[in-house]
């Protein structure tokens, strides 16, 4: 037996017992005649004491050779500590070591295994197994486990069945790029890794499973953005015989349960907002509603003077930044520069200081009088002391720009509190989205999403106006889940593919199996998928997902620990009948 207890277990009531422990040497203090060692494992730290007078000579000698991260086993008697450590649960006791065995020596780790480590990001990624020994990472992985188990238990209790769907599937051009896997046995042919189990979960509904879920890896070969992973985990769900309302209720239930179980936060009912309202009020389809700064549209009160920039703009829109009237000229100039950065892309910014004395001072005083500015203040709900920031231009560009500014100001003003949770359903998404690159409409969610009843006809006349039975669950400004009610009859699905530019042959080749299935009694169905990595991070009060993933890829999509992706050898290529030309 390697150990009788773990390193977090021993307390004062164990004094006098003889125990055996195993773990890693966290640190060693050698005073010559006495050595103290902190022994660490997942559960905690126990202090070991080696004492010239009471510890056998050979044990004492061996103890002096122990370095950081050596794996050891000790046996000894639990004694009361002379100087107690109230910061750790085992801080009242220590073990007077009688036997010591080195289970494995360790090289000096490339960074300190401490809460505050000296290791940079790259180094920690390369030696991720050492990073995982640190509390910061270890605790996040344990936290993820807790969330995952809570999800599984909740859904299982509600009658959902977890079904595994295949990872080796067929590539389809719709959506993001696929990762593909060559098939050795089928020369020249490829599998694709699933971007999501979408069609399979729908087939499970046709198969009568009724309520399905799966905690599942999904793969998307997208251009990497900060905090995106090429492989990520979804809580994927589907239900039969449901309408949108049923799905919203079911998964509001799950999310409430998690907030309560994990964070001790009770939320009565999640607010709902249509996509159009979200865009109008926040310029964003995943608004953070933990704070105000709602958009005020100013066209009516800003386009009646000689200010050409506003008069030519499709949209003039502003927000009131709390307390911003006190910003110095320099600070405001910096804000203007901030919105002009290429990442935001505004051409400029007009501002109005709503002074504490009720007067206004603006960057466009030449054109607008106090009465005009008072109307702007009213529209943006500004209070004395606020700074009104106004952007203008094409509404499709201006809204996201002002949204970026709103989020930035909220971050700077510390209005985005990690321990505050503001969930929100965004509903009635457009069915289609215009794609500048291909000059065509694409399915905004995916091609299996059903339009709102009676709107199929609109596809011909005003496609951009067609709304879908699609919804997102937003938490603190992050999309944590999204789904839709699906098309479940062959005819509508065929029409949709046709509309999206698939020829009949293409639709048949790619999705014939699904359309066939729809002819054998497909129930009405719908579902949702949550991004587990992000959900866990937000519940954990963080915005970055990487530390909640045991072995994440870096921003270039590489696993620097195992050094992947990598070349494969010629023999492998030959077997696969592949030629690499670079």
Chain contacts with ligand ASP (rule: CB under 6 A): 196, 198, 482-484, 527-529
- Cβ proximity to ligand ASP, 339 vs 529, nearer residue: 529
Burial (CB count <10 Å: 0-12, 13-18, 19+), residue 214: buried
Which tokens belong to 544?
A: 């970055």
CB of 244 vs ligand ASP, minimal distance in Å: 12
Alpha-helical (H) ranges within 305-385 are 308-311, 329-340, 370-380
Q: In the complex, what is the shortest distance from the CB of residue 469 to ligand ASP, in angstroms, rounded to a whole number?
A: 11
CB of 218 to ligand ASP, least distance (A): 7
Main-chain dihedrals φ then ψ at residue 209, nearest 5 degrees: -70, -20
Q: What is the residue whose two structure tokens read 């009635």?
A: 428
**Which two structure tokens, joined as six digits, stand for 320?**
């009131």
55: CB partners within 8 A, 6+ apart: 63, 96, 97, 98
Q: Which is nearer to ligand ASP, 28 or 196 (CB)?
A: 196
Nearest-angstrom CA–CA distance, 279 and 273: 10
Q: Give the whole-angstrom CA distance, residue 451 versus residue 200.
A: 21
CB closer to ligand ASP out of 154 and 367: 154
Q: Which is nearer to ligand ASP, 404 or 470 (CB)?
A: 470
Q: Min. distance of Cβ 400 from ligand ASP in angstroms?
A: 21
**Smaller CB separation from ligand ASP, 186 or 249:** 249
Question: At closest approach, how far in Å is the CB of 572 from ligand ASP?
Answer: 32
Half-sphere exposure at residue 205, Cβ-oriented, CA atoms within 13 angstroms: 25
Structure tokens that stand for 488 in this block = 């479940």
Nearest approach, Cβ of residue 237 and ligand ASP (Å): 7
Find the shortest distance in angstroms from Cβ 234 to ligand ASP: 6
Residue number, 239 or 349, with CB nearest to ligand ASP:
239
Residue 111 in tokens = 């960074």
In the complex, the smallest distance separating the C-beta of residue 198 from ligand ASP, rounded to whole angstroms, is 4
Please report how close the Cβ of residue 147 comes to ligand ASP at its closest, in angstroms. 19
Would you say 393 or 482 has its CB closer to ligand ASP? Answer: 482
Which CB atom, from 51 or from 252, has the smaller least distance to ligand ASP? 252
Which CB atom, from 239 or from 273, has the smaller least distance to ligand ASP?
239
- In whole angstroms, how close is the CB of 483 to ligand ASP at the nearest point? 4
Minimum CB–partner distance for residue 524 and ligand ASP (Å): 15
Which residue, 63 or 204, is less far from ligand ASP as judged by CB? 204
Contact 486, 202 (CB under 8 A): yes
| Among 477, 300, 298, residue whose Cα is nearest residue 389 | 298
CB contact at 8 A, 455 and 495: no
Q: What's the Cα-to-Cα distance from 420 to each of 22, 51, 70, 268, rounded to whole Å?
A: 40, 50, 42, 14
- Written as six digits, the tokens of 57 are 């000579």
Where helices occur in 381-445 by DSSP H, the ranges are 395-412
Residue identified by tokens 């100001």 is 409
Indicate the residue among 426 and 528 with the shorter CB distance to ligand ASP. 528
d(CA 520, CA 515): 9
State the minimum distance, in angstroms, from the CB of residue 426 to ligand ASP: 14
Which of 513, 458, 515 lies closest to 489, judged by CA?
515
User: What residues contact residue 193 under an 8 Å CB cut-off, 6+ apart?
Assistant: 167, 168, 169, 178, 179, 180, 181, 219
Which is nearer to ligand ASP, 23 or 483 (by Cβ)?
A: 483
Q: Which residues contact 456 (CB under 8 A, 6 or more apart)?
A: 466, 492, 495
145-148, long-range: CB < 8 A, 24+ apart: 146/262, 147/258, 147/262, 147/532, 147/535, 147/536, 147/539, 148/215, 148/532, 148/536
User: In the complex with ligand ASP, which residue's Cβ is closer, 402 or 545?
Assistant: 545
Q: How far is the CB of 384 from ligand ASP (least distance, A)?
A: 45
CB of 472 to ligand ASP, least distance (A): 9
What's the CA gap between 340 and 345, in Å, rounded? Answer: 5
Cα separation of 579 and 582, whole Å? 9
Closer to ligand ASP by CB, 124 or 446: give it.
Answer: 446
């Amino acid at each position: 037996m390697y150990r009788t207890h773990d390193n977090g277990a021993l307390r004062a009531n164990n004094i006098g017992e003889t125990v055996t422990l195993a773990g890693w040497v966290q640190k060693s203090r050698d005073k010559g005649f006495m050595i103290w060692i902190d022994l660490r494992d997942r559960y905690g730290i126990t202090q070991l004491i080696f004492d010239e007078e009471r510890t056998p000579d050979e044990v004492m000698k061996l103890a002096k050779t122990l370095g950081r991260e050596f794996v050891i086993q000790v046996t000894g008697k639990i004694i009361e500590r002379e100087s107690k450590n109230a910061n750790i649960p085992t801080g009242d006791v220590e073990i007077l070591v009688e036997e010591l065995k080195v289970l494995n020596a360790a090289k000096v780790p490339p960074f300190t295994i401490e809460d505050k480590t000296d290791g940079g990001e790259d180094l920690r990624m390369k030696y991720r197994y050492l990073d995982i020994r640190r509390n910061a990472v270890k605790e996040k992985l344990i936290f993820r486990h807790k969330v995952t188990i809570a999800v599984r238990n909740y859904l299982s209790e509600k009658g959902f069945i977890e079904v595994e769907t295949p990872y080796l599937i067929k590539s389809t051009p719709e959506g993001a790029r696929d990762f593909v896997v060559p098939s050795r046995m089928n020369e020249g042919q490829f599998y694709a890794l699933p971007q999501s189990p979408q069609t399979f979960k729908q087939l499970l509904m046709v198969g009568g499973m009724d309520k399905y879920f799966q905690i599942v890896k999904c793969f998307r070969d997208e251009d990497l953005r900060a905090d995106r992973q090429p492989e990520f985990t979804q809580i994927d769900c589907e239900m039969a015989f449901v309408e949108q309302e049923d799905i919203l209720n079911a998964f509001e239930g799950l999310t409430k349960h998690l907030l309560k179980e994990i964070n001790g936060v009770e939320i009565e009912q999640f607010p709902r907002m249509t996509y159009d309202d979200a865009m109008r009020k926040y310029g964003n389809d995943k608004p953070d509603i933990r704070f105000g700064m709602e958009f005020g549209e100013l066209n009516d009160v800003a386009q009646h003077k000689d200010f050409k920039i506003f008069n030519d703009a499709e949209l003039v829109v502003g927000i009131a930044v709390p307390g911003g009237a006190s910003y110095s000229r320099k600070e405001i100039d910096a804000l203007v520069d901030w919105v002009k950065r290429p990442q935001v892309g505004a051409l400029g910014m007009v501002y109005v200081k709503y002074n504490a004395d009720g007067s206004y001072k603006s960057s466009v005083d030449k054109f607008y009088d106090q009465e005009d500015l008072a109307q702007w203040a009213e529209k943006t709900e500004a209070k004395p002391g606020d700074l009104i920031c106004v952007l203008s231009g094409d509404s499709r560009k201006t809204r996201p720009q002002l949204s970026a500014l709103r989020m930035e100001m909220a971050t700077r003003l510390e209005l985005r509190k990690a321990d505050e949770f503001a969930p929100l359903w965004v509903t009635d998404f457009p069915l289609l989205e215009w794609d500048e690159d291909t000059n065509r409409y694409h399915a905004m969610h995916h091609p299996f999403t059903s339009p709102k009843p009676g709107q199929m006809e609109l596809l011909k006349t005003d496609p951009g106006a067609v709304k879908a039975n699609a919804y997102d669950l937003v938490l603190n400004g992050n999309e944590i889940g999204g789904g839709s009610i699906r098309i479940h009859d062959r005819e509508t699905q065929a029409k949709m593919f046709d509309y999206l530019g698939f020829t009949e042959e293409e639709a048949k080749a790619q999705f014939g199996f699904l359309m066939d299935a729809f002819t054998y009694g497909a129930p009405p169905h719908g579902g949702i998928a949550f991004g587990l990595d992000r959900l866990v991070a937000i519940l954990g009060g963080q915005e970055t997902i990487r530390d909640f993933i045991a072995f994440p890829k870096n921003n270039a999509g590489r696993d620097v620990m195992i050094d992947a992706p990598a070349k494969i050898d010629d023999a492998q290529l030959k077997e696969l009948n592949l030629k690499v030309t670079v």
